[in-house]
Structure 1
Amino acid sequence: MEAGNLLSFAVGLAAGYLGIQRFRADDLSGKTVLITGGSKGLGFVLARDFARMGCPVAICARDEEELDIARRRLEDEDAQVVTGVCDVADQAQVDRFVGEVAEAFGPVDILVNNAGIIQVGPVENLDVDDFEMAMDTMFWGVLHPTRAVLPQMLARGEGRIVNITSIGGKVSVPHLLPYCCAKFAAVGFSEGLRAEMAGRGVDIITIAPGLMRTGSHVNALFKGKRDEEFTWFSMGAGLPMISMNVERAARRIIAATKRGSAERVLSAPAKLLSWFHGLLPGTTTKMMGAINRLVLPSADGAHQRAEPGSEVYDTLDDDARSLLDTFAALGQKATEQFQNLSRRR
């Protein structure tokens, strides 16, 4: 085949593929979407945006009051929504909620495994319980909902499972070890399951966000020198250019869901870090080590309970609060919009 004909063939093939992708991407209206951890943050924004597309949405979380407020906010936009108090670490609770969703809307077409927990602190101040809690929520909390919906999806020959993992599931970060361990496990499960589902009509989509402005720092759990840990984490989660707007992230996740994409790494810094780590993993580890030594707080030898960010913030002095209000203003705004829903009236 001549070079010109070969080029034309390649262009035509690419155009045809994109056309198929666009065709697949056009029709999610009416599909039943179940989102774990859907009462706040990214999960709530995803529920709202799927509902605006005409999808019945089901959200679950562990806090009944936050779920009730999330439901009312969605219903204010004429969404079809059901909610349920559910601990995704418990298969029985997950199975029960999936059954309730099926009674209300029919079988789940799209599952978004979004529930998460963030624990921040040096390894010396962490307990085994911290790692178990992270795995319960972000690995078993992915496996259990997937097992609950997958048989019906396979029987119908169609369905999509969206696993919200993290750049922390590709590059492990100091002072976030429980989170990273659980996210690495979720990435491995998600990628392997996609391979097993190939050709069977069920798309498994791995989403790996970088830092997002969801206001999650107020609900993260802190150990060690809590005030210093809270300060660095809050600033990183709220700075522009470093962190990503949650509504923009939600749009990209929905676009990937429409197309049945294999994977999406969200934000340019996260993509760069993932690429660099894949190319030079030893150098990345050395860089993380330098950050740990030079930037992050040292361990506090005292045994202590984990404290949520909202409580840590209340103990900060005026200078520390002023610093956060200046350099993490976008994160604070996200907190008002997408967190602490139980405080909104």
Structure 2
Amino acid sequence: MEAQNKKKLWWLAAGAGALLAARAINRKLNAYDFRNKVVLITGGARGLGFVMARQLAKEGARLVLCSRDEIQLENARMELAGNGADVLVLPCDVTQQALVNEMIDTIQRDFGNIDVLINNAGIITAGPLEEMTVQDFEEAMQVHFWGPLYTTLAVLPAMKARGGGRILNIASIGGKLGVPHLVAYSASKFALVGLSEGLRAELKQHNILVTCASPGLMQTGSPRHANIKGQHEEEYTLFKIADSNPLSSISAEDSAKQILDACRNGDAEVVTSLPAKIGAFVHGLSPEITTDFFAVLNRVLPGPTGEKRSQKGFESETSLSMSDLTERTQKAEYRNNEL
């Protein structure tokens, strides 16, 4: 009996090893060279989008960045072009389908066919559910779901005609775990995760591989652009400290590298940062554990004020939010064109 058990364990180990080897071979076969590829990054003028643009530029990609902020776009263009990158910047509001279609037509006419689409544009509205309005949910869905859908639909005909392409959707760990005080954000990111998985299943037959990234907290410098509701200063200070703490977040550069490697290898999904990976794993085993944990966390977060007014993070700064506790985020603001 003992010999039979050992034999079963051996075959089990051999099978697991074969699966890992097959996965490694598959990743190598699917490895994508970004050199000379036209890569469109929505929300590419600052934060994670800009960090990915820098890394792709070093690999020789031809970059197209879009954003609603023309000043930030020009700043991004000057840095990238000054370092030798081939880059085009275009102002665009991705929540408007007509503007998205016009942008894609311009890129394909003046710069070349889009090989890689990175749907990165995003917004964050933080605060208690009682302070959220239907408009907050609608805006989150417009940016995180409809925007990626519009751009995807616009690039698909040319990708199909050429027989391949890559689509990278930047979701969030908030799209796998429902996070208190970020309910609108989480709900819209859940929608993007579902969209990504369905698109991957249908588009793989056309050699178009869809990757969904679910990063945890990153030191991008973006909290200052968040919409803050409720007790503005308290809410923002906690958010910024968590964003800067190395125990709860990782650098934007490390996260971008992991995300682009997943896209390069045609992976279906990538989760970055150890806390996010642990959270996703535990949630997969038992959603009750994570939701009960967040229920306890919610009790210690700043409560509602009775008004629904929002203000930007940079309008909610305190001495604590500008202290040594947030040094990493403050440095990232300068580094990643967030100011």
TM-aligned CA deviation for residue 11 of structure 1: 5.2
**Deviations, residues 213-235 of structure 1 (Å, cap 9, x unaligned):** 00111000101000010011001
- Distance of 2:156 and 2:85 partners within structure 1: 25
Pair 1:65–1:98, CA change in 2 (3 A): same
Among candidates 271, 296, 301, match of residue 290 of structure 1:
296
Does structure 1 residue 79 correspond to structure 2 residue 79?
no
Identity %: 43
**Deviations, residues 181-209 of structure 1 (Å, cap 9, x unaligned):** 11011001001111112322000101000
TM-aligned CA deviation for residue 25 of structure 1: 2.1
- Distance of 1:7 and 1:169 partners within structure 2: 34
Pair 1:26–1:113, CA change in 2 (3 A): closer
What residue is the counterpart of 1:202 in the other structure?
208
What residue is the counterpart of 1:31 in the other structure?
37
Among candidates 298, 302, 306, match of residue 301 of structure 1:
306
Pair 1:340–1:26, CA change in 2 (3 A): closer
- Distance of 1:340 and 1:13 partners within structure 2: 43
TM-aligned CA deviation for residue 7 of structure 1: 7.3
TM-aligned CA deviation for residue 284 of structure 1: 1.4
- Distance of 1:309 and 1:20 partners within structure 2: 44
Residue identity in the other structure for 1:242: S
- Distance of 1:283 and 1:27 partners within structure 2: 41
What residue is the counterpart of 1:113 in the other structure?
119
Among candidates 165, 179, 184, match of residue 178 of structure 1:
184
Pair 1:192–1:12, CA change in 2 (3 A): closer
Does structure 1 residue 311 correspond to structure 2 residue 315?
yes
Q: Are the counterparts in 2 of residues 210 and 243 from structure 1 also a CA contact under 8 Å?
A: yes
Residue identity in the other structure for 1:35: I
What residue is the counterpart of 1:326 in the other structure?
324
TM-aligned CA deviation for residue 257 of structure 1: 1.1
What residue is the counterpart of 2:57 in the other structure?
51
**How is 1:234-273 mapped onto 2 (pairs within 5 angstroms)?**
234-273=240-279
Residue identity in the other structure for 1:101: I
Q: Are the counterparts in 2 of residues 216 and 339 from structure 1 also a CA contact under 8 Å?
A: no
**How is 1:112-151 mapped onto 2 (pairs within 5 angstroms)?**
112-151=118-157
TM-aligned CA deviation for residue 286 of structure 1: 1.2
Question: After TM superposition, which residue ranges in structure 1, 4 or more long, deviate above 6 angstroms?
Answer: 2-10
What residue is the counterpart of 1:338 in the other structure?
336
**How is 1:223-242 mapped onto 2 (pairs within 5 angstroms)?**
223-242=229-248
Residue identity in the other structure for 1:327: L
Uncovered stretches (5+) of structure 1, i.e. residues with no partner: none
Q: Are the counterparts in 2 of residues 168 and 184 from structure 1 also a CA contact under 8 Å?
A: yes
Q: Indicate the SS of the match to 2:316.
A: helix
TM-aligned CA deviation for residue 339 of structure 1: 3.7
- Distance of 1:127 and 1:229 partners within structure 2: 17
Q: Indicate the SS of the match to 1:83.
A: strand
**Deviations, residues 117-171 of structure 1 (Å, cap 9, x unaligned):** 0000101111111111111111111111001101111122200100000000010
Pair 1:95–1:8, CA change in 2 (3 A): same
What residue is the counterpart of 1:155 in the other structure?
161
Pair 1:5–1:220, CA change in 2 (3 A): closer
Uncovered stretches (5+) of structure 2, i.e. residues with no partner: 1-6
Q: Are the counterparts in 2 of residues 214 and 339 from structure 1 also a CA contact under 8 Å?
A: no
- Distance of 1:6 and 1:127 partners within structure 2: 53
What residue is the counterpart of 2:4 in the other structure?
none
**Deviations, residues 55-90 of structure 1 (Å, cap 9, x unaligned):** 100000000111011100110111101111100001
Pair 1:17–1:210, CA change in 2 (3 A): closer
- Distance of 2:292 and 2:247 partners within structure 1: 23
Q: Are the counterparts in 2 of residues 325 and 332 from structure 1 also a CA contact under 8 Å?
A: no
Q: Are the counterparts in 1 of residues 95 and 142 from structure 2 also a CA contact under 8 Å?
A: yes
Aligned length: 332
Residue identity in the other structure for 1:296: L
Residue identity in the other structure for 1:152: A
TM-aligned CA deviation for residue 14 of structure 1: 4.7
- Distance of 1:10 and 1:252 partners within structure 2: 24
Does structure 1 residue 104 correspond to structure 2 residue 107?
no
